Amino acid sequence: MTSIIYPTTNLKQVEQLNIVKGEGIYVYDDAGNQYLEGLAGLWCASLGYGNEELIDAITTQLKTLSYSHMFGGRTHKIVMQLAEKLSSMIPIENPRIFFANSGSEANDSHIKMLRYYFNVTGEPKKKKIIALENAYHGITVAAAALTGLPANHTHFDLPVEHLGILRADSPHYYRGRKDNESEREFCDRIIQNLENLILREGPETIAAFVAEPIGGAGGVVVAPENYFPEVENLLTKYDIMMWSDEVICGFGRTGKDFGCNTMRFKPQLLTIAKQLSSAYLPISASVIPEYMYEAMVEPSAKVGVFGHGYTYTGHPAACAAALKTLEIYKRDNLFNHASKMGVYLQQRLEEFATHALVGEVRGRGLLGAIELVANKKTGQGFDDASVGAYAKQACQDNGLLIRAVGGNSIAFCPPLIINTEQIDEMIDKFSKALQQTLDYCFAEDLLVN
């Protein structure tokens, strides 16, 4: 065992799989075994592995300008080109873009900029942020406080209350419904709960509401069709900003360019990362509206500096990777391709709806999940996450890399370049693993009649 502290890992089960090579949608371990990357790495390797155009763009940039910081008014050509390209794509009018290195950093930056903005505009009480139960927004201290997953909170003593993080109902109808509640009734109830929360806390104290358009690590949660439009109306009523965390959903993943367009709402704040560079180099961005930026200009001049930034903000090589990624998306019409492949993937996943272990199939575009349950009729879940963990390992044994998320939901998020034959291959491998998981559940008497 090496001296590495491994991220998001059972520290008694490290170094289980050593990946040494990637090509297209496949990766290979040190024993030469091939695996189909069913989760695009960590929801991010949109163009797959070994893309020579991206490698050449990064290499050329490294040879030209390997590094330059952006402190004190310094800039460089490639970061300005990337900002202009993104400005033409992002669904926010006159956006201003702050670059960072990860989704967690970008979400942290949003929290800081919200506080800065409301302090300098005379509303210092307006600091609270509403986030959803079981949401994931990162693992730095502030981003982890936004996150609503127990494993990311346990033992860390995160300053949730101090940061003013409020928690609203997850819009997951299958798990959150009561008795015979219809989807419409469920949505009405949690929207009313949200309004009650706003009124109880005081809308003058709440800066923003943050959500992933489709939840990722919390279980690939797809909200009812009318949920986000109604949330947007509610936030407008109480002058609260809507913040779309597009770290997973951005850049064609959900069937449209951005998840907020798939789920039909218009944000004022937006976070991007992962597929921005197809994960070839770390880069992320916090996007704010022009009016918010303009309000911060004069106060920063009085202080002498806008006192926020990272050593690697706008790293030239990362910007080159992102710019080339966006070029490939457009040139190869990949968002349209991903939309078509997404329709096919959802059709294939739906075939498992009648399986004895499957409680719900859900998703949009090339993002989906199959939730495994102990009782198909009632939807009763398993006591712990061991069945999902078994299914994950069974998939790996069959040459498919995926993740179990939100307990026992198996997530699918293949590279955008996947084709129908490869989707069929992925589904075939999963089908074998699911049957092995069912056999395991029978053997261990885990199913509930």
Q: Residue 277: inside a domain, yes or no?
A: yes
C-alpha pair distances (Å), 396 with each of 28, 119, 392? 12, 50, 6
Per-residue pLDDT, averaged over 261-280, amounts to 98
Q: Residue 3: inside a domain, yes or no?
A: no
- For residue 241, what are its two tokens? 């900003």
Does 146 share its domain with 262? yes
Per-residue pLDDT, averaged over 31-46, amounts to 98
Does 218 share its domain with 151? yes
pLDDT at 323 over 90: yes
Proportion of the chain above pLDDT 70, given as a percent? 100
d(CA 39, CA 301): 45
pLDDT (tens digit, 9 = 90+) per residue, 400-420?
999 999 999 999 999 999 999
Does 327 share its domain with 368? no
Using pLDDT thresholds of 50, 70 and 90, give the confidence band for residue 315.
very high
pLDDT (tens digit, 9 = 90+) per residue, 171-216?
999 999 998 999 999 999 999 999 999 999 999 999 999 999 999 9
* Boundary-marking domain end, from 331, 365, 387: 331
* Boundary-marking domain end, from 289, 313, 331: 331
Q: Residue 290: inside a domain, yes or no?
A: yes
Does 326 share its domain with 373? no
pLDDT (tens digit, 9 = 90+) per residue, 99-152?
999 999 999 999 999 999 999 999 999 999 999 999 999 999 999 999 999 999
d(CA 170, CA 132): 5
**Residue 449: its pLDDT value, please?**
83
Using pLDDT thresholds of 50, 70 and 90, give the confidence band for residue 156.
very high
pLDDT at 22 over 90: yes
Does 313 share its domain with 358? no
Q: Residue 9: inside a domain, yes or no?
A: no
Structural domains in the chain (count): 2
Using pLDDT thresholds of 50, 70 and 90, give the confidence band for residue 33.
very high
For residue 434, give the CATH number of its domain. Answer: 3.90.1150.10
For residue 170, give the CATH number of its domain. Answer: 3.40.640.10
* Boundary-marking domain end, from 303, 331, 359: 331
Domain residue limits at 369: 19-50+333-443
Q: Residue 2: inside a domain, yes or no?
A: no
Does 290 share its domain with 324? yes
Does 273 share its domain with 410? no
User: Which amino acid, residue 247?
Assistant: V
**Residue 249: its pLDDT value, please?**
98
Does 82 share its domain with 191? yes
Does 270 share its domain with 413? no
Does 131 share its domain with 247? yes
pTM of the model: 0.97
Q: Residue 1: inside a domain, yes or no?
A: no
With vertex at residue 178, the alpha carbon angle to CA 448 and CA 375, rounded to the nearest 5 degrees, is 10
Per-residue pLDDT, averaged over 327-356, amounts to 98
**Residue 349: its pLDDT value, please?**
98
pLDDT (tens digit, 9 = 90+) per residue, 59-107?
999 999 999 999 999 999 999 999 999 999 999 999 999 999 999 999 9
- For residue 13, what are its two tokens? 């089960």
Per-residue pLDDT, averaged over 228-249, amounts to 98
User: Which amino acid, residue 192?
Assistant: Q
pLDDT at 1 over 80: no
pLDDT (tens digit, 9 = 90+) per residue, 223-233?
999 999 999 99
Using pLDDT thresholds of 50, 70 and 90, give the confidence band for residue 283.
very high
Q: Residue 262: inside a domain, yes or no?
A: yes
Does 362 share its domain with 400? yes
Does 299 share its domain with 315? yes
Q: Residue 448: inside a domain, yes or no?
A: no
Q: What is the mean pLDDT of the chain?
A: 97
